[in-house]
């Protein structure tokens, strides 16, 4: 059955439980460190509410199982089981069809799952690895913990390319919190001011930054905060020292020793120029 048609049947099957399931398993207080924190726009609750879902209750939701071989956090031919983010959007989101799911990790790294990404790649909130519950999961390649939650895919095939940036798998581990949000609000925080043609460097830079840079850098309350460098600071660097800005993108540790964000050594000059043009729109001179 085509994936799009499967999603329709899945949504229809869940419809009857949407009203009851969230209220029955979303709790006002955390019961254990393994509870998944959920927030944003939750079904049946005021916007901005926070609730907690126990790991055991997540295991009672509709489960899917896949063997994956292209997730860099896992060994080849690892069997994962869990709940599709599309299912969680239907169960918990106030506006299931247009809900953006934001995954937040313990180190303040964030990944965004809009509706088109979910439809194309079918990301899964992983609850079992090789049949084992979270207390028996393997370690990360560098010896850390994969838990309390991680997100993976049955199989990842890039769905788009902008210059030399190719659609990337969003596969965070250490996920502690899912927010159910409006994409227009979250991505609106980094929309470039003004009107730009779709093929302009500014618009191309925006599309790249929305998937890549936004995971580690924040614009106000939106976006990741792992890097410690917010959007306006990046805009200021792009405006005042574009060469340094490009070095930061290609190899962050060449500019700041100990930088935690990954570099993009494969980005060509056109891609770096597009990102520079985009971030310049956030520099102080452009705001006057």
Could you read off the pLDDT of 191-249 as tens digits, one per residue? 999 999 999 999 999 999 999 999 999 999 999 999 989 999 999 999 999 999 999 99
d(CA 239, CA 42): 39
d(CA 255, CA 238): 14
Asked if the model's pLDDT at residue 288 lies above 90, the reply is: no
d(CA 40, CA 93): 8
DSSP string, 8-27: HHHHHHHHHHHTTHHHHHEE
| Beta partners for residue 103, in sequence order | 111, 178
Nearest to 26 by CA among 50, 53, 48, 45: 53
Asked if the model's pLDDT at residue 5 lies above 50, the reply is: no
Give, for 204, the enclosing helix (H) or strand (E): helix 201-211
Q: Provide φ and ψ at 158, rounded to 5°.
A: -55, 135
The full set of domains in the chain, from first to last, is 3-187 (3.90.420), 193-287 (2.60.40.420)
- Where does 133-203 show beta strands of DSSP type E? 149-152, 161-162, 165-166, 173-182
Give me 141's structure tokens.
Answer: 């390649």
| Confidence at residue 21, expressed as pLDDT on a 0 to 100 scale | 56
Spell out the residues 6+ positions from residue 112 whose beta carbon is closer than 8 angstroms to its own: 100, 101, 102, 103, 170, 183, 186, 187, 210, 211, 214, 215
> pTM to 2 decimals?
0.89
Give me 125's structure tokens.
Answer: 């909130």
| Confidence at residue 129, expressed as pLDDT on a 0 to 100 scale | 98
Question: Binning pLDDT at 50, 70 and 90, where does residue 141 land?
Answer: confident
d(CA 191, CA 159): 22
């Amino acid at each position: 059955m085509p994936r799009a048609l499967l999603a329709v049947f899945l949504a229809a099957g869940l419809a009857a439980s949407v009203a009851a399931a969230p209220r029955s398993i979303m709790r006002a207080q955390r019961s254990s460190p393994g509870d998944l924190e959920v927030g944003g726009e939750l079904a049946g609750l005021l916007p901005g509410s926070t609730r907690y879902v126990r790991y055991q209750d997540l295991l009672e939701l509709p489960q899917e199982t896949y063997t994956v071989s292209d997730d860099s956090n896992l060994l080849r031919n690892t069997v994962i089981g869990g709940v599709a983010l599309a299912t969680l959007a239907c169960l918990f989101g106030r506006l299931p069809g247009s809900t953006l799911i934001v995954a937040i990790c313990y180190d303040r790294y964030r990944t965004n799952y809009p509706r088109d990404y979910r439809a194309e790649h079918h990301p899964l909130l992983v609850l079992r690895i090789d049949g084992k519950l979270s207390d028996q999961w393997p370690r990360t390649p560098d010896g850390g913990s994969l838990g309390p939650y991680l997100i993976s895919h049955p199989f990842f095939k890039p769905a788009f390319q902008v210059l030399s940036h190719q659609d990337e798998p969003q596969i965070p581990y250490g996920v502690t919190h899912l927010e159910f949000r409006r994409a227009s609000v979250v991505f609106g925080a980094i929309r470039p001011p003004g009107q730009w043609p779709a093929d302009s460097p500014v618009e191309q830079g925006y599309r790249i930054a929305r998937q890549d840079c936004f995971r580690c850098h924040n614009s106000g309350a939106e976006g990741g905060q792992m890097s410690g460098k917010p959007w306006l600071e990046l805009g200021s660097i792009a405006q005042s020292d574009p060469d340094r800005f490009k070095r930061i993108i290609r190899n962050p540790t060449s500019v700041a020793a100990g930088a935690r964000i990954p570099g993009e050594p494969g980005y060509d000059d056109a891609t770096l120029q597009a990102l520079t043009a985009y971030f310049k729109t956030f520099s102080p001179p452009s705001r006057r």
